[in-house]
Structure 1
Amino acid sequence: MLALAWPLVLTNLSQFALGLTDSLFLGRVGTLELAAATLGSNLYFAALAPTFGLALAAAPLTAQTRGRGRGHLRGMRRDVRAAFWAVAAGTIPTWLLLWNTEAVLLALGQEPALAALASDYVRAMMWGMPLFCGFIVLRGFLAAEQRPNAALVVSGFGIALNVPLNYALIHGAAGLPALGVAGAGLASALCNLAMLAGLVAMITRDRRLRRYHLFGRLWRFDASRLREVVAIGLPIAGAMALEITVFSAAALAMGWMGALAVAAHAIAVQVAAMTFMVPMGIGQAATARVGLATGAGRPVAAARAGWVAIGFGAGFMALAAALLVLAGRPIAWLFLDAANPGAAETAELAATLLLVAGLFQLADGVQAVAAGALRGLKDARVPMLLAGLGYWVIGLPVGIALAFPAGLGPIGLWIGLATGLFIVAGLMLARWTRLSRAGGLTTQVALFGRRRRAQVRRSRSDRDTALTTDRWPR
């Protein structure tokens, strides 16, 4: 588990570092620019969730196909191709929404100046969205092959590229105009292009991986595989959208409290998101390991892989919680320049929010890893419903009630988010506990086997019908 998890964790951290670099550069430009980029990125990731979830479906699909062994070369190629088709289908409506960022934010009650700057940021960054999702598809394939290092190397290159691009495009250098927040968005889009191109090059040059011919005949439409991607990916997307949008809604609620509250929220979210990258990577490793064992018909090994991953995630997040509780104020000042107006008030509020974030670290880690283990079983619909209950039915309403009627402001909003995370963690852990028992997981493995065999029979029937129609047309 560790051999597969640590490159995935570092890959997540490197991808997170792209957004963190934007925040660090823009935080020194001004509080308004940092707040605008935060609002824009919250809308961006909320709109990205459906397409991102479809891309994530490649990981459990390819893992179970790899675990079955026989015919896995063709099967994994079909999985990846169908995931690419799903990403392409989700891109256009997402672009249409993101192009109208300013109108959306104004309709949600944001300040006109913040909405205009956020639109500049998102319109530049949105062109990298399908490239990022394509990278996620290929990363899932590599995780199923237990070859995650290529994605790690490419992500490291992306970080190295993002720093000079941010400096040049935000401030203007090497003869380029100073683009401000739009420059930060464009830098992220260019880095996504470079990372996808780098991963494609590494896969096609690797002797073992190029035998899959992943990029051959991408234009072929595979309806049965696409249906499977959608059946798994949409619930994953739904669960992600529920989690992402609850924090996006929190950012919008912060916007009603002023730019200082948004900036403090941005700092706290960035730090909490950075620690979250570790259990997220462990959860991705759990998806691959549980999927491989399930595809091979080994329920005991699948259960063991899931529990080991949950233990790793909980252990790390306990350490992260201690760090945030003890060092919140120094961490907050890393994002701010003392010479900027309002920096001291922003740092003080951000330190308090980081204290609350420290309290929910353990819950956040457990729910992320448990969700990843459940994805390895292709169990995505029930986790989506559990996320909706915890985040939107309980977490956000409690936070808004504490923030406004109770008068606690930003702190009350974050207490509500923490409450929702604890509830989701408990429900996800209970779900995995039930399924990981020997009888329950054996039943799940048998059920997936029957479904797969039925899909194969339908595919063969469709093929035979097509051949008959071609030879003897009416």
Structure 2
Amino acid sequence: MRGLGRWAEVRATLALAWPLALTNLSQHAMAATHAVILGWYSTEALAAGTLGANLYWLMMAPGLGTAFAAAPVMAQARGRGQRRGGAARGWVREMRRGARSALVATLLLLAPSLALLWQGEWLLRLLGQEPALAAGAGTYLRAMMWGLIPFSGFIVLRGFLAAMDRPGPALWVTGAAVAINAPLAWLLVFGAFGLEGFGVVGAGLASALADLLMLLALLVLIARDRRLRRFRLLGRFWRVDLPRLRETFRIGLPISGQMLLEIGVFSATAIAMGLFGAVAVAAHAIALQVSALSFMVPMGIGQAATARVGVLAGRGDATGAGQAGWVAIGLGAGFMLAMALLLVLGARPIAWAFLDVADTEAAAVAALAAWLLTIAGLFQLADGVQVVASGALRGLKDTQVPMLLAALGYWGIGMPVGVALAVWGGVGPAGLWLGLAAGVLLVAGMLLLRWRRLAEVPQELPSAAGA
């Protein structure tokens, strides 16, 4: 079996990518909703929730990597099934084992994360945070942490659906969760109908309940689908497949490492921004929110690339896998080029959309945020390329080299350059973002070269992950 023609591949990738991108945007919308509701409750609640959420995502990264590893494992298993004509039951069993191993590996890695989140207040105080703020964040985390395992399970199931070219159910479930989450969070934070609100704890409870409902709803939709329920993904869940578990760790741990490196560099930048005062922190928050929003689309394209490349590589169609990767990279680059123009040309109006004109410091924040958004616009193209190239490489189960490249780009170049420009070069807060831009550009270039190297030797492409 051979891959599709170029334009047919574009259509196939877009058909898979747009529901995944909208799912990512919906998840981002839920986090933004909580921030808005906590901001209405009190400044202290917003600060505690933001601090807790940053620690939450950092603790989630180890388990999330193995959850993401399910997608390439199952995509290649489906491709092997297509190569054999689809009649053999072996590939169905392989996909079930891939999902089960990803869930087991994720549970093992999340156990220490849950223990640390339970001690979130102690951790934050150890990091020098104000006692009152750390206490609020700690109570928030003790409520929110119970959604960690359901959310990771949702990611595994979403990877299964992407491998099956069925991203729709995950989109429907996330969209419903967005609609339910806002009134639920409002009710639990502020209280209503004679019930007393829980403040910041209520936002954590709403998040955990939303994650649990998303997992249960997706399980129900899969169970009701005749084509999907035959996989019995949770069948004999207690049986441990050691070879598949080792493969999941081999693929997933580098993904976790890469996520930690990326989250870490932005967290470190936020901390460094604190050296320049509240205006710098506020401007950084605006630029980060906008750039994170635009990032959700190429992230979805990258997830589609993982599935498309994985299926074609498993099928033995190396040429088709290479074409699928290049098509996805082109789509991600095209979208982010448009976003770059938008951010560069509309930086100031975008910045003011986040600010109250009556605030005495709004003009200073808007001016700095506009400059940071302009810098963000300049590296949008590179950011789109790097996330899609990472997704394409994951389709080949190639995760170790991308992790090392991320370490070099973000921490070997990006952070040192940013600190040097900001502190010693006299550039100030913008210097930190210029460092981020340098790191992203380097990572994108190296990942693109990595993909080019693998895609130009089509006879070796399906097994290139071991290179």
The TM-score, its normalising length taken from structure 1, stands at 0.89
Offset, 1:417: 1.1
Offset, 1:434: 0.8
Offset, 1:291: 0.4
Structure 2: tracts of 5 or more residues without a match = 1-12, 82-87
Alignment of 1:251-266 (within 5 A): 251-266=270-285
Letter in 2 for 1:252: I
For residues 401 and 170 of structure 1, do their structure 2 counterparts lie closer, same or farther at Cα, with a shift above 3 Å needed? farther
Residue 161 of structure 1 pairs with residue 161 of structure 2: no
The superposition leaves residues 15-54 of structure 1 with CA deviations (integer Å, 9 ceiling, x where unpaired) of 1111111223334445554444333222221221110000
1:46 to 34, 39, 58: 58
Offset, 1:411: 1.8
Point out the more displaced range, 342-351 or 194-203: 342-351
1:18 to 17, 30, 53: 30
Offset, 1:444: 3.4
Letter in 2 for 1:25: I
For residues 223 and 62 of structure 1, do their structure 2 counterparts lie closer, same or farther at Cα, with a shift above 3 Å needed? same
Offset, 1:447: 6.1
For residues 221 and 97 of structure 1, do their structure 2 counterparts lie closer, same or farther at Cα, with a shift above 3 Å needed? same
Letter in 1 for 2:59: A
Alignment of 1:337-416 (within 5 A): 337-338=356-357, 342-416=361-435
Offset, 1:159: 0.6
Which residue of structure 2 lines up, in the alignment, with residue 218 of structure 1?
237
Which whole-Å CA distance do the structure 1 matches of 2:371 and 2:43 have between them? Answer: 18
Which residue of structure 1 lines up, in the alignment, with residue 330 of structure 2?
311
Alignment of 1:46-445 (within 5 A): 46-69=58-81, 70=88, 71-338=90-357, 342-437=361-456, 439=457, 441-445=458-462
Which whole-Å CA distance do the structure 2 matches of 1:186 and 1:331 have between them? Answer: 32
For residues 23 and 333 of structure 1, do their structure 2 counterparts lie closer, same or farther at Cα, with a shift above 3 Å needed? farther
Which whole-Å CA distance do the structure 1 matches of 2:403 and 2:46 have between them? Answer: 31
Contact 1:63 1:291 in 2 (8 A): yes
**Secondary structure of the corresponding residue to residue 216 of structure 1:** coil
Offset, 1:261: 3.4
Point out the more displaced range, 27-36 or 349-358: 27-36
What count of residue pairs does the alignment treat as equivalent? 447
Which residue of structure 1 lines up, in the alignment, with residue 6 of structure 2?
none
Which whole-Å CA distance do the structure 2 matches of 1:349 and 1:86 have between them? Answer: 43
Point out the more displaced range, 32-41 or 133-142: 32-41
Letter in 2 for 1:318: L
Structure 1: tracts of 5 or more residues without a match = 452-474
The superposition leaves residues 35-91 of structure 1 with CA deviations (integer Å, 9 ceiling, x where unpaired) of 443332222212211100000000000000000004111110111011110111112
Offset, 1:283: 0.4
Offset, 1:329: 3.5
Contact 1:31 1:263 in 2 (8 A): no
Which whole-Å CA distance do the structure 1 matches of 2:189 and 2:444 have between them? Answer: 39
For residues 63 and 178 of structure 1, do their structure 2 counterparts lie closer, same or farther at Cα, with a shift above 3 Å needed? same
Letter in 1 for 2:385: V
Which whole-Å CA distance do the structure 2 matches of 1:19 and 1:196 have between them? Answer: 17
For residues 257 and 95 of structure 1, do their structure 2 counterparts lie closer, same or farther at Cα, with a shift above 3 Å needed? farther
Letter in 2 for 1:144: A
The superposition leaves residues 398-431 of structure 1 with CA deviations (integer Å, 9 ceiling, x where unpaired) of 2222233334332221111111111101100010
**Secondary structure of the corresponding residue to residue 427 of structure 2:** coil
Offset, 1:393: 1.1
For residues 279 and 130 of structure 1, do their structure 2 counterparts lie closer, same or farther at Cα, with a shift above 3 Å needed? same
Letter in 2 for 1:288: A
Which whole-Å CA distance do the structure 2 matches of 1:102 and 1:269 have between them? Answer: 25
Which whole-Å CA distance do the structure 2 matches of 1:237 and 1:446 have between them? Answer: 22
Which residue of structure 2 lines up, in the alignment, with residue 2 of structure 1?
14
Letter in 1 for 2:432: L
**Secondary structure of the corresponding residue to residue 212 of structure 1:** coil
Which whole-Å CA distance do the structure 2 matches of 1:338 and 1:182 have between them? Answer: 31
Contact 1:31 1:259 in 2 (8 A): no
Which whole-Å CA distance do the structure 2 matches of 1:20 and 1:61 have between them? Answer: 32
Offset, 1:14: 0.8
Letter in 2 for 1:14: S
For residues 144 and 132 of structure 1, do their structure 2 counterparts lie closer, same or farther at Cα, with a shift above 3 Å needed? same
Offset, 1:167: 1.8
Letter in 2 for 1:147: R
Letter in 2 for 1:169: L
For residues 410 and 334 of structure 1, do their structure 2 counterparts lie closer, same or farther at Cα, with a shift above 3 Å needed? same
Contact 1:324 1:357 in 2 (8 A): yes
Give the superposed CA RMSD.
Answer: 2.0
The superposition leaves residues 235-288 of structure 1 with CA deviations (integer Å, 9 ceiling, x where unpaired) of 111111111111112222234444443333222222111111101100010000
Letter in 1 for 2:263: I
* Residue identity (%): 61
**Secondary structure of the corresponding residue to residue 424 of structure 2:** coil
